[in-house]
């Protein structure tokens, strides 16, 4: 995200989804977002910044313990965050969460 869009996003306190749209419009890379189903974008917009971070780390193949070390938190907290993410995205099980995160990894890196 550019400094200008960062400032705009911060000033307006935009949701992650709105921030993504602002970024996409600025870099004219709307093709990436256009390929993502609207329900997925809406579901991603419900995630907190920390949940998006955890989802991104899951997509990178990190284990719960590795995520906890990376975020300076406990594995128990990461497990709770994984459960919250799964619930918000309507996913069941660790494998479906991993598949989802890897499928939409490019979008996650922009949030």
DSSP 52-94: HHHHHHHHTT--HHHHHHHHTS-HHHHHHHHHHHHHHHT--SH
Give the whole-angstrom CA distance, residue 10 versus residue 13. 5
Quick one: pLDDT band at residue 31, thresholds 50, 70, 90?
low
**pTM of this structure:** 0.71
Residue ranges per domain, the chain?
A: 3-108
Q: Is pLDDT at 103 greater than 70 in this prediction?
A: yes
Quick one: pLDDT band at residue 11, thresholds 50, 70, 90?
very low
Give the whole-angstrom CA distance, residue 71 versus residue 66. 9
Average pLDDT over residues 101-108: 85
pLDDT of residue 24: 55
Average pLDDT over residues 31-49: 79
CA 72 to chain centre: 19
Of the options 3.30.1490.480, 3.40.50.1460, 3.40.190.10, 3.40.50.2300, the CATH number for the domain spanning 3-108:
3.40.50.2300
Q: Which of 26-30, 36-40, 66-70 has the highest mean pLDDT?
A: 66-70
């Amino acid at each position: 995200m550019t400094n200008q869009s960062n400032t705009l996003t911060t000033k307006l306190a935009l949701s992650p989804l709105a921030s993504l749209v602002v970024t996409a419009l600025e870099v004219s890379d709307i093709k990436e977002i256009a390929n993502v189903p609207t329900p997925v974008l809406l579901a991603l917009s419900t995630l907190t910044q920390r949940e998006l971070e955890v989802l991104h780390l899951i997509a990178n193949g990190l284990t719960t313990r590795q995520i906890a070390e990376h975020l300076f938190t406990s594995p128990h907290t990461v497990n709770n965050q994984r459960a919250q993410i799964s619930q918000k995205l309507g996913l069941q099980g660790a494998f479906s969460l991993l598949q989802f995160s890897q499928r939409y990894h490019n979008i996650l890196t922009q949030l």
